[in-house]
Structure 1
Amino acid sequence: MGGLWFTEKQTENFGITMKVNNTLHTEQTEFQKLDMVETEEWGNMLLLDGMVMTSVRDEFVYHEMVAHVPLFTHPNPENVLVVGGGDGGVIREVLKHPEVKKATLVDIDGKVIEYSKKYLPEIAGKLDDPRVEVRVDDGFMHIANSNGEYDVILVDSTEPVGPAVNLFTKGFYAGIAKALKDDGLFVAQSDNPWFKADLIRNVQRDVREIFPITRLYLANIPTYPSGLWAFTIGSKKHDPLAVTDDSFHEIETKYYTKEIHKAAFILPKFVADLVK
């Protein structure tokens, strides 16, 4: 294999590898190792601590599924918080909903925001929208200091290492419940069922103890470990499986549809067994 190849070691015995045409930027930030690379297969790609965060070619799957499932579940999502997500992809999708009056992005690492704007403009291009407030701050503490403020909270975190460890704790989910309005709901990325079954079990258990409606849904994201990615939704009132055709309005998407909205909750048996 000629040229430069990057491998993300996803477990001790398995990884994903891709050809890199060019390293655009590399930096040890205050919180993590940040690399922007240009890949042959996936276009420009953001890596944090050696893990793939997003790529131009397949980013739409993750960002659409984090945003649209909860925003079409909630009947009037006026005030939305995104924790993490400094690349701006979730914010871009959130702004497709005309009901949203304000979207707040809180990411602990301002360098992710800075270099996403520079090297991932098709993802980060809506961060300067007038409906968006960008805060470089600790998302855990922002949640802890919020009370009954948000309709929807979207947790777009890295894997549970480094600065994201606290975003996978029961205390964080309890803080989310306090930060949400009485009919609020949240979604958090929950890694993958092939390699992180225990994480999914633990998240489902913790969220279920706090939110009366707790569900898991899936999407196919080829650059993420195993390609099968999980999301946890916790809701005080609104059930994502109870939405009707009247709940949807037309938006431009590449992956999400109203049919996918419900189909994503149909789990393979080995995944369904994790959430029993």
Structure 2
Amino acid sequence: MLDTLSPDVLLRQALGALFFPPLNGLLLLLAGLYWQRRAPAAGRLLLLLALFLSYLQATPWLAMRLNGALESSAPATLAQVRTTGAIVVLGGGQRPAPEYAANVPSGDSLARLRYGAHLARASGLPLLLTGGAPNGGEAEAVVMARVLQQDYGITARWVEAAAETTADNARLSAALLRGAKVGRITLVTQAWHMPRALVSFRAAGLQVVAAPTGYSRYDGIWLQHWLPSGRAMQEVYQAEREWLGLLYYHLRSLITGLTT
């Protein structure tokens, strides 16, 4: 798989890991241990910050706050979907499944695919699946198309299997849709990913109806939202990644505007 892994993707993942849990807390902890002998007060402060950050980043409370601020798009209505010419479903990863002797969509991809199939059946619109193989192996869109046909009995009209980023998803999907004279789409992705996806697809010249799925929600009383969990850490990770991505898009647009 390493021979098909994009060096750019690997570099982005390695650099990005420095900012996200659990590595950001561990780096702060190491800094505290380093400074404890040279400046004990500063070292102790860094150690306390590392412990607090590691704990906070594993709580449902923070997961809901960070993701909730991203999940600004309301669920799409069927009337809105019917004003568009196609439903575009973004890939969100794939994984090997020995029990099926094949690759299957990741949890995020499967949630998007299921919602896309639901909207396609209700509206009669064609589906475009987009997603390459940024981590090597089989392309996400190919895996999604196979599962869509096998499990839902629906054949995707377009399968875009080269995109490695959200910007690629938008650019390559727009090129396919222009050939079919489709300029207005329904876009399906996780609610926390929708802000960045909207920026990319609108920049590619498409009118977009947002159809988010997979909102971050937790049951239970407020006290349970302060109990750390692996799921909460994963959702904090994804939210911090999205906020960093939005910051990058914003800075890039500012730089582009200044240079032009």
Answer whether TM exceeds 0.5 for this pair. no
TM-score normalised by the chain length of structure 2: 0.35
Structure with bigger RCO (C-alpha 8 Å, 6+ apart) = 2
TM-score normalised by the chain length of structure 1: 0.34
Identify, as 1 or 2, the structure richer in helix: 2
Identify, as 1 or 2, the structure richer in strand: 1
